[in-house]
Amino acid sequence: MLTTVKKLSSIYMRLVLPSPSSSTFLSFGSSISVFTPPRGTQFLRLNFRFRTMASHVVGYPRMGTKRELKFALESFWDGKSNSEDLEKVAADLRSSIWKQMADAGIKYIPSNTFSYYDQVLDTTAMLGAVPPRYGWNGGEIGFDVYFPMARGNASVPAMEMTKWFDTNYHYIVPELGPDVKFSYASHKAVSEYKEAKSLGIDTVPVLVGPVSFLLLSKAAKGVEKSFPLLSLIEKILPVYKEVIAELKAAGASWIQFDEPTLVKDLDSHQLQAFSHAYSELESSLSGLNVLIETYFADVPAEAFKTVTSLKCVTALGFDLVRGSKNLDLIKSGFPSEKYLFAGVVDGRNIWANDLASSCSTLQALENLVGKDKLVVSTSCSLLHTAVDLVNETKLDEEIKSWLAFAAQKLVEVNTLAKALAGQKDEAVFSANAAARTSRKSSPRVTNGAVQKAAAALKGSDHRRATTVSARLEAQQKKLSLPALPTTTIGSFPQTLELRKVRREYKANKISEEHYVKYITEEISKVVKLQEDLDIDVLVHGEPERNDMVEYFGEQLSGFAFTANGWVQSYGSRCVKPPIIYGDVSRPKPMTVFWSSRAQSMSKRPMKGMLTGPVTILNWSFVRDDQPRFETCYQIALAIKDEVEDLEKAGINVIQIDEAALREGLPLRKSEEAFYLNWAVHSFRITNCGVQDTTQIHTHMCYSNFNDIIHSIIDMDADVITIENSRSDEKLLSVFQEGVKYGAGIGPGVYDIHSPRIPSTEEIADRISKMLAVLDTNILWVNPDCGLKTRKYTEVKPALSNMVAAAKLLRDQLASTK
CA distance 643 to 639: 6
Question: Quick one: which H or E segment has residue 12?
Answer: strand 12-13
| Cα-to-chain-centroid distance, residue 265 | 21
| Residue 753 is a catalytic residue | yes
Residue 393 exposure: Cα atoms within 13 Å on the Cβ side: 1
**753 vs 508: CA distance, rounded Å:** 33
Alpha helices, DSSP H, located in 738-791: 760-771
Instruction: Give the relative orientation of helices 68-77 and 83-103 as an angle to the nearest 10 degrees.
Output: 170
DSSP assignment of 614-660: HHHHHTSEE-SSS-HHHHHHHHHHHHHHHHHHHHHTT--EEEEE-TT
What is the DSSP secondary structure assignment for residue 65, as one 8-state letter?
A: T
Strand partners for 256: 206, 291
- Does residue 239 contact residue 188 with C-beta atoms inside 8 Å? no
Distance (Å, whole) CA 775 – CA 634: 37
Dist CA 294 CA 379 (whole Å): 9
Helix pair 119-126, 143-151: axis angle to 10 deg = 130
Question: Which has the closest alpha carbon to 381: 415, 352, 409?
Answer: 409
Query: 3-state SS of the chain: helix, strand, coil percent to 5?
Result: 45, 15, 40
**Are the CB atoms for 445 and 583 separated by under 8 Å?**
yes
- What φ, ψ does residue 50 adopt, rounded to 5°? -90, 145
Which value, in Å, is the radius of gyration of the alpha carbons in the chain?
29
Helix (H, G, I), strand (E, B) or coil at 245: helix
Cα 192 from chain centroid? Answer: 23
Q: How deeply is 25 buried, as exposed, middle or buried, from its count of CB atoms within 10 A (0-12, 13-18, 19+)?
A: middle
- 540, 697, 699, 753: which is the annotated catalytic residue? 753
Between vectors from CA 629 to CA 626 and to CA 633, what angle results, nearest 5°?
Answer: 110
Q: Is there a contact between 30 and 47 (Cβ–Cβ < 8 Å)?
A: yes
Q: Which residues are catalytic?
A: 753
